[in-house]
Amino acid sequence: MSRSRSDSKRGSIPSMETTGDALTEETVIVVLGASGDLAQKKTFPALFALYQQGYLPKDVHIVGYARTKMDLDEFYRRETKYIKKNENDVELAKTFDAKLSGFKKISSYISGQYDTDEGFQELREHLEKLENERSGSKSPRNRVFYMALPPPSSPSSPRPFGKDLESSREMMTALKAEWAENETYRIDHYLGKEMIKNMLVLRFGNVFLDACMNRNFISNVQITFKEPFGTEGRGGYFDEFGIIRDVCQNHLMQTLSVLAMERPVSFSAEDIRDEKVKVLRCIPPIDKKDVLLGQYVATGDKPGYLDDDTVPKGSHCPTFAAMVLWVNNPRWEGVPFIMKAGKALNESKVEVRVQFKDATSGIFNDIARNELVLRVQPSEAVYMKMNSKLPGFQTRAVTTELDLTYKKRFTDARIPQAYEALILDALKGDHSNFVRDDELDVAWKIFTPILHWIDGKQGEAPNPEPYAYGSRGPKLIDEFSSRYGYKRTEDDYTWPQTSVEQVEKASL
């Protein structure tokens, strides 16, 4: 995503300084790739949610641009296809139909190619016409370009940004030819998720948490991403990138950097991003001995990865990856950050699990470890696994929890979707939750060597371990995690507040 003003010296896509918390009036939002899945499923619903609640700038206009030839009625159908009325929010439900009609009225569409000038010339003429009709030719032209484009179409794919360090730098060079860094908002939608944004407050707003988040108290940290479905006909795209590029290098790495960073000087964008870059620079490239790869196979009526007709025959692409990253600084040295991500697993879950060291032995015999768990999705929650005496005559320790389940505690709060939060941040000119160029560069330095090994650029590509569709992953996953100090709960402890009735024993 980029912001620009058309009254600068660079023509139709020039520069604009950020505007802090104030929304700039009379803004045009151009959605490039308007006919694609990302735009239809995420971008337009997010824009409508902001419009419905009155968060878009005054006199805003939305322009879709894509290669698909279609009239306005067809564009409106696609633009609103995934916008649903929320019956649980009575006030918003009352105005839904009127707001949806108004949303269409502020939207228009231009068809054109991405590799020729004609379509963009027509787009520029359309933008100038809209702007002249509103304010006249002398007013500043405030434009936001949202690039919801697939990799072949543009040097700004939604995810991931490049395939390795070299290709990422090529893409950054191409973008910098048109937009300055302060105009560029690189979206990693995990930075817009409520729990990731809450990490700064949890870490630095609670003395007891901040004091124990270091190598003296923490045994290991697990960052887990689980999907219960496979590629489902998207194997061609997925096989080009794999699970590490698709999830780990971007989403989970952002999660790690926010969790492990030092206290920023302030909540300003650059202070926060400075600390994220500092901690990433302390992480050496991932070693192949610290990696476990897997690829799902058929189970029952569920097809295996290689059964997908869109997947190249005999592909070695991993659909599961577990890897360990080490942060070599005084706070975290020696603490393994175990990153796990996989498709076709037993559940849908994204969480951070901080496991503390064992309690001092003596009066206790094999007492469970404390854990701080941050559930990113589904159903945001924070809970601390702790030991307590079981009520009664005997002194018996049992595992229980301090529980902050968002839906139970914040009953009247509406949690915005990640794209809603990020688009609003961009409109305000707030870079806090966007990826800076040097941050992206150092992240690719960490992952590129292991990716080249997996791609076969350093010799023969490794063979991923097979695992059954719907399982917890490769059979070696427990052995892998325990090798780095993780102790899995083996008792009957169940966290009772999860909406999906998930059991601790089923954790990846």
Catalytic residue numbers, as ranges: 251
Rounded Cα distance, 225 and 163, in Å: 20
| DSSP assignment string, 50-85 | HHHTT-SPTT-EEEEEES----HHHHHHHHTTT---
**Radius of gyration of the chain from Cα atoms?**
24
Burial of 394 per CB tally in 10 Å (0-12, 13-18, 19+): exposed
Beta bridge partners of residue 133, listed in sequence order? none
Strands (E), 270-414: 291-297, 320-326, 336-342, 349-356, 371-377, 381-389, 397-405
Cα angle 217, 223, 224; round to 5 = 140
Collapsing DSSP states into helix, strand and coil, what is residue 296?
strand
In degrees rounded to 5, what are phi and psi of residue 313? -60, 135
Q: Would you give the DSSP letter of residue 92? A: H
Cα separation, 145 vs 32, whole angstroms: 7
DSSP string, 465-506: EEEETTBSS-TTHHHHHHHTT-----S----TT-TT---GGG
Chain centroid, CA 103 distance in Å: 27
First-last CA distance in the chain: 34
Structure tokens of 296? Answer: 């799902």
Q: Which amino acid appears at position 213 of this protein?
A: M
The single residue listed with the structure tokens 């950054």 is 172
